[in-house]
């Protein structure tokens, strides 16, 4: 089954069929559970459904005419789709659960990206005003990260969100790679709250990897 880029099934699809990103429609109980994990580990994950996986692979194909050249690389813009709108509502609830108060959130990106990296391959935390970030690997290696509890004392703070490695061997031993079958949610420095950890991560050194990226500010 194919989906239009603006979201929603084609005209022949029965309306009860699963839609891409349905798995991200987390209820309040699940959001409380997931955000507790984020505060402990620096991130939480949501398994990617087969429906969403198929949609992302379809959109990520190099034959897709929706690819646009941008400074960051090639992107397929999915902002303003029904998928983005429903996920933004969930992101608002995630932000509220993390901070204990309502947050105004607007989507900065909701896209597929074949990135040039441009510094993203250096260890960093997403800088202000970014609050909620969601990444999934479509092609290639997954994003590398160090769990919140494992990163203490291993990095110094640089400029513009960059993190300076202080112990390369220890960092290498504690580095994890995002699995391909998961959405990864984490927080950026748009949160001023000290008890909301900001995940230290980087893009792997690999050409032509494709990711789904959503960030709200």
Mean per-residue pLDDT for 133-150? Answer: 97
Q: 59-107, pLDDT tens digit by residue?
A: 999 999 999 999 888 999 999 999 999 999 999 999 999 999 998 899 9
Looking at residue 9, its pLDDT comes to: 47
Would 1 be classed as within a structural domain? no
Residue 3 lies in a domain: no
Task: Quickly state the pLDDT bin for 38 (edges 50, 70, 90).
Answer: very high
pLDDT classification of 11: cutoffs 50, 70, 90: very low
SS (H, E, C) the chain: CCECCCCCECCCCCCCCCCCCHHHCCCHHHHHHHHHHHHHHCCEEEECCHHHHHHHHHHHCCCCCCCEEECCEEEEECCCCHHHHHHHHHHHHHHHHHHCCCCCCCEEEEEEEEECCCCCCCCECCCCCCCEEEEEEEECCCCEEECHHHCCCCEEECCCCEEEECCHHHHHHHEEECCCCEEEEEECCCCCCCCCCECEEECCCCCCCEEEEEEEC
Instruction: Give the count of domains, the chain.
Output: 1
Which tokens go with 89?
């509502």
The percent of residues above 90 in pLDDT, for the chain, comes to 82
Give the length of the chain. 217
Domain enclosing residue 44, as ranges: 22-216
Q: Is 10 within a domain? A: no
Instruction: Residue 94: give its domain's CATH number.
Output: 2.60.120
Structural domain includes residue 63 = yes
Considering the domain boundaries, does residue 112 fall inside one?
A: yes
Residue 114 domain flag: yes
On whether residue 135 sits in a domain, the answer given is yes
Q: Return the pLDDT at 208.
A: 82
Least confident window among 8-17, 97-106, 139-148, 179-188: 8-17
Specify if 90 maps to a domain: yes
């Amino acid at each position: 089954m194919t989906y239009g880029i603006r979201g929603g099934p084609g005209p022949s699809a029965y309306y009860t069929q699963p839609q891409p990103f349905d798995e991200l429609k987390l209820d309040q109980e699940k959001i409380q559970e997931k955000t507790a994990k984020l505060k402990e580990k620096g991130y939480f994950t949501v398994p990617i459904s087969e429906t969403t996986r198929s949609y992302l692979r379809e959109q990520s194909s190099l034959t897709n005419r929706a690819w646009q050249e941008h400074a960051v690389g090639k992107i397929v813009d999915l902002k303003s789709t029904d998928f983005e709108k429903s996920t933004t509502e969930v992101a608002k609830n995630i932000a509220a659960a993390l901070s204990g108060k309502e947050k105004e959130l607007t989507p900065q990106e909701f896209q597929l990206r074949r990135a040039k990296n441009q510094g993203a391959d250096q260890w960093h935390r997403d800088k202000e005003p970014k609050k909620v970030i969601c990444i999934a690997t479509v092609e290639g290696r997954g994003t590398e990260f160090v769990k919140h509890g494992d990163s203490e004392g291993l990095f110094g703070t640089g400029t513009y969100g960059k993190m300076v490695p202080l112990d390369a061997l220890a960092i290498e031993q504690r580095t994890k790679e995002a699995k391909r079958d998961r959405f990864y949610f984490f927080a950026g420095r748009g949160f001023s709250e000290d008890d909301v950890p900001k995940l230290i991560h980087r893009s792997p050194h690999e050409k032509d990897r494709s990711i789904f990226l959503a960030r709200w500010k």
